[in-house]
Structure 1
Amino acid sequence: MLEPDEAVRIVLEHCTQAPAEDCWSELALGRVLREPVVSGAAVPPFDNSAMDGYALGGGAEPLPAGSEWLVEGEQAAGDAMRGRARGAWEIMTGAAMPEGLDRVIPVEQTERLEAPHRVRLLADVAVGQNVRLAGSDVAIGETVLAAGTLLGPQHLMLLASLGVAKLSVTARPRVAALCTGRELVDDPAVPLAPGQIRNSNGPFLAARIPAAGAELAHAETVGDDVDAFLDAVDRARAAGARIIISTGAVSMGRYDFVPVALERLGAQVLFHKVAIRPGKPLLFARLPDGTLFFGLPGNPVAVAVGLRFFVEPALRAMLGLARERPWQVPLAAPFVKKPRLHFYLKSQLAVDERGQLSAIALHGQESYRIRPLADANAWVHIPLDAGELPAGTLVEVHGLGHLESPSWGRA
């Protein structure tokens, strides 16, 4: 059987980056930059006050405490730039510095005097004190965001400050999800007949695919019939899917028809079976038009593992993102397995009372058990050759999705 690293290598060999497209900046959350952003403006755009207080001017030496200054005017945030100023100007936070003034003393370090309106300094004030200089955050011509940046709220804040209206981003890969099985019931309001089960894979894929940076182009459930499945594949391709994911019918049973369907499609099967648990019957193929096909086993956690560790690396490559680097975290308790397969474990990260992070393999690792996955906040990878792992052994830890860092709670 194929090693998972080798399987991912084969997948990545057949991935090409999705094309670029323009996107309005305010809609760019979660998108991946295709081209770097170079600032065409300075931030701040003008010298301004960092405090409510009084703007003053002077030479290189600090203005001494005890000195008194006539208040010549005031400047509020949003006021136009003033001409050459002298004396003291009452100024608000964010207001433009009047020309000729080069420092600000906070209002709480002053005493107001009347007749005439003056201010007495209660502390020395050095040149540049409490002044935000134009371009001190971002200078004109500076590269502020590199190509390949996954845009978060903080990036949208920066882009808004620069007045960037449009961006070049990588198009979201279009993905289709086909759930197979005549036993599956999609409608939660329909009572189950004997032998039927609810389709849990469909809602999972419909939620997880967009969370992975892709677009769900098509989704449907089909029975255990080759012709119906081929019709569904045609609909998925017509919807523009570059990746088709199927669930079920890839093992060795009588009704595991997906390999037969792929043969009729003229697909090139690039691997079938990977040395992993859950999800060993995983299949990867390439259709004649270049569409990538992932055949995942039908058990829910096998679907989750196949998507997370084999489909999502393909999505990262299509989005132009670098390969993931897992965390290294110690196990909270011993773990024992037979050294025949790689294990992907539903896990929790937790911080103990000393602030130490550890990984806990949850009870119920069977591939049909969904409840532990709902309790998980991370995945743990145990390598093939590992048998008995004592507490404290460092293991690879991954977030629930490739765009999500692992999270943790309290132990």
Structure 2
Amino acid sequence: MIDYAQALQRLLQQVMPQAAESCLLADAAGRISAGAVHSPIALPTFDHAAMDGYALAADEPLLAGSEHAVSGSRAAGDGACASGGECCEIMTGAQLPAGLNSVVAVENTHMLETHADGTPARIRLLQALAPGQNVRYAGSDVAPGTPVLSAGARLDSADVMLLAALGIGRIDVVRRPRVAIVGTGKELQADATQPLVSGRIHNSNGPYLVAALRAAGAHVLLCETVDDTPATYIDALRQAVDAGADLVISTGAVSMGRHDFVPATLDRLGAQQLFHGVAIRPGKPLLCARLVAGPLIFAMPGTPMAVAAAIRFFVSPMLRAMAGQAAELPLHAVLDTPQQPKPGLRHFLRATLHQDRDGRLHARVLAQQQPFRIRPFAEAGAWVVLPEGAADCARDSMVEVVGLLHGHPPRIDPPPP
């Protein structure tokens, strides 16, 4: 049995970066950028009015009480033009006419005369106007050539807004890792719409893995449930290989019992074993191997929390590495519930988080940590990580916390009453 850091290192040494592919910007949210993106244009692309009012030429401050003849009107979307005079009515977002450099808000003017059609003809300033006032200058938000997105960044809606404003309709993103899921166990009933047969249980690991892996940015190729025989397991592995899987995740039959056939089956297939057994809780019997000229096989116990911990602390770092992302940075919180972890094991504990009045983050480890219990996991907002040498952790100790899922921050609940 090896420790967590050794296991993760061996796992990451097997990771191959994913290739890039072109993606429509409309489909890019949640994807990982394959390279840095630089602005092709200035943003704004031209000098324009920040508000409705009048554009004027103000090489020096214009004093309150000064009067100005109005020539023409400009609305957002009108093309470039010369001023044709000393003052022009202008609307928010409209391009400044050439020769005019400042905008006075309409509420800071008094109408003196109108044309026959009712448009402004002459105004008086009610306040002084400084050169450049109320103008949004070209490039003041983004200059041409400015880096706007780094390689390995997960695109969110704000990135989509910025790239769209820059006229970028497609972007190179990292191809989603292709993952196949194989759940073992004759006790598993895959069809949740049917009443349970005696001795069977609903398959919760399969739907969880599909949801968690998709949320982490993976492309789930298949999710198969097989019985406790090597033949059906091998057949599912072949399906995964034929589908082009980069990674196969299996659950169950990986420990030391008489029906735990996965280790021997992988040996018989000639798979290169990277490790079998990691000093963690939950999930100690984890196994990782690589098929000959094939994908990685990550086999985990079938208990729900062993599956959840393995996905969060092994598969998630691997998916980040495949996408060219750096390792994530953990948060730290004040521990509200003392812990006595077993020496020599790294513990992954379900917890809730809240902030105190001083803004400090607090973690409360939930009472029922047995690996078969699912409800505490659904109630949790984060994992608390206690390293192998943590010893007894007193109340008010600082502990490491991470979100329940890769790419999703911890959930912070309201403070307790």
Q: TM-score range by the shorter chain?
A: over 0.9
- Structure 1 residue identity aligned to 2:10: I
After TM superposition, the structure 1 = structure 2 runs for residues 47-86 of structure 1, keeping only pairs within 5 Å, are 47-59=47-59, 61-86=60-85
Deviations 1:124-158 (CA, angstroms, capped at 9, x unpaired)? 11111111111111222222212112111111111
Once the two structures are TM-superposed, the CA of residue 20 in structure 1 deviates from its matched residue by: 1.1
Give the 3 Å change call, closer, same or farther, for CA 244–92 of structure 1 in structure 2.
Answer: same
Question: How far, CA to CA, are the matches of 2:412 and 2:207 in structure 1?
Answer: 25
Query: CA contact under 8 A between 2:384 and 2:400: conserved in structure 1?
Result: yes
Question: Residue 293 in 1 paired to residue 297 in 2?
Answer: yes
Query: CA contact under 8 A between 1:148 and 1:320: conserved in structure 2?
Result: yes
Once the two structures are TM-superposed, the CA of residue 208 in structure 1 deviates from its matched residue by: 0.6
> Which residue number corresponds to residue 34 of structure 1?
34
Where 1:284 maps in the other structure, the secondary structure is: strand
Once the two structures are TM-superposed, the CA of residue 85 in structure 1 deviates from its matched residue by: 3.3
Once the two structures are TM-superposed, the CA of residue 194 in structure 1 deviates from its matched residue by: 2.3
Question: How far, CA to CA, are the matches of 1:284 and 1:85 in structure 2?
Answer: 75
- Structure 2 residue identity aligned to 1:65: A
Question: Residue 222 in 1 paired to residue 204 in 2?
Answer: no
> Which residue number corresponds to residue 371 of structure 1?
375
Where 1:191 maps in the other structure, the secondary structure is: coil
Question: How far, CA to CA, are the matches of 1:50 and 1:299 in structure 2?
Answer: 60
Partner residue of 2:124 out of 112, 120, 125: 120
Once the two structures are TM-superposed, the CA of residue 167 in structure 1 deviates from its matched residue by: 1.4
Give the 3 Å change call, closer, same or farther, for CA 89–360 of structure 1 in structure 2.
Answer: same
Question: How far, CA to CA, are the matches of 1:220 and 1:188 in structure 2?
Answer: 14
Partner residue of 1:397 out of 401, 404, 407: 401
Question: Residue 189 in 1 paired to residue 202 in 2?
Answer: no
> Which residue number corresponds to residue 317 of structure 1?
321
What's the RMSD between the two structures over aligned residues?
Answer: 1.3
After TM superposition, the structure 1 = structure 2 runs for residues 248-267 of structure 1, keeping only pairs within 5 Å, are 248-267=252-271
> Which residue number corresponds to residue 169 of structure 2?
165
Question: How far, CA to CA, are the matches of 1:112 and 1:226 in structure 2?
Answer: 89
> Which residue number corresponds to residue 238 of structure 1?
242
Question: Residue 350 in 1 paired to residue 354 in 2?
Answer: yes
Where 2:70 maps in the other structure, the secondary structure is: strand
Query: CA contact under 8 A between 2:58 and 2:132: conserved in structure 1?
Result: no
Once the two structures are TM-superposed, the CA of residue 25 in structure 1 deviates from its matched residue by: 1.4
Question: Residue 23 in 1 paired to residue 23 in 2?
Answer: yes
Deviations 1:37-69 (CA, angstroms, capped at 9, x unpaired)? 12221111111011111111121x211111111
Give the 3 Å change call, closer, same or farther, for CA 370–233 of structure 1 in structure 2.
Answer: same
Question: How far, CA to CA, are the matches of 1:156 and 1:338 in structure 2?
Answer: 47
- Structure 2 residue identity aligned to 1:398: V
Partner residue of 1:381 out of 385, 400, 403: 385
Deviation larger for 199-208 or 73-82: 73-82
Once the two structures are TM-superposed, the CA of residue 86 in structure 1 deviates from its matched residue by: 2.1
Question: How far, CA to CA, are the matches of 2:297 and 2:131 in structure 1?
Answer: 66
Question: How far, CA to CA, are the matches of 1:352 and 1:6 in structure 2?
Answer: 36
> Which residue number corresponds to residue 95 of structure 2?
96
Deviation larger for 77-86 or 364-373: 77-86
Partner residue of 1:144 out of 138, 144, 148: 148
Give the 3 Å change call, closer, same or farther, for CA 258–115 of structure 1 in structure 2.
Answer: closer
- Structure 1 residue identity aligned to 2:38: V
- Structure 1 residue identity aligned to 2:31: R
> Which residue number corresponds to residue 10 of structure 1?
10
> Which residue number corresponds to residue 332 of structure 1?
336
Once the two structures are TM-superposed, the CA of residue 362 in structure 1 deviates from its matched residue by: 1.1
Once the two structures are TM-superposed, the CA of residue 94 in structure 1 deviates from its matched residue by: 0.7
Structure 2: runs of 5 or more not aligned: 116-120
**So what's the TM-score if we normalise by structure 2?**
0.96
Question: How far, CA to CA, are the matches of 1:127 and 1:57 in structure 2?
Answer: 8
> Which residue number corresponds to residue 118 of structure 2?
none
- Structure 2 residue identity aligned to 1:352: D
- Structure 1 residue identity aligned to 2:33: L
Question: How far, CA to CA, are the matches of 1:203 and 1:85 in structure 2?
Answer: 68
- Structure 2 residue identity aligned to 1:90: E
Once the two structures are TM-superposed, the CA of residue 115 in structure 1 deviates from its matched residue by: 5.6
Question: How far, CA to CA, are the matches of 2:109 and 2:352 in structure 1?
Answer: 55
Question: How far, CA to CA, are the matches of 2:300 and 2:315 in structure 1?
Answer: 10
Query: CA contact under 8 A between 2:338 and 2:393: conserved in structure 1?
Result: yes
Once the two structures are TM-superposed, the CA of residue 88 in structure 1 deviates from its matched residue by: 2.1
Question: How far, CA to CA, are the matches of 1:123 and 1:360 in structure 2?
Answer: 58
Percent identity at matched positions?
Answer: 50
Deviation larger for 203-212 or 183-192: 183-192
Give the total of aligned pairs: 410
- Structure 2 residue identity aligned to 1:404: H
Deviations 1:199-258 (CA, angstroms, capped at 9, x unpaired)? 000000010111111100111100000011000000011111110000010011111010
Deviation larger for 16-25 or 220-229: 16-25
Once the two structures are TM-superposed, the CA of residue 387 in structure 1 deviates from its matched residue by: 2.8
Query: CA contact under 8 A between 1:182 and 1:223: conserved in structure 2?
Result: yes
**So what's the TM-score if we normalise by structure 1?**
0.97
Once the two structures are TM-superposed, the CA of residue 354 in structure 1 deviates from its matched residue by: 4.3
Once the two structures are TM-superposed, the CA of residue 367 in structure 1 deviates from its matched residue by: 0.4
Give the 3 Å change call, closer, same or farther, for CA 22–255 of structure 1 in structure 2.
Answer: same
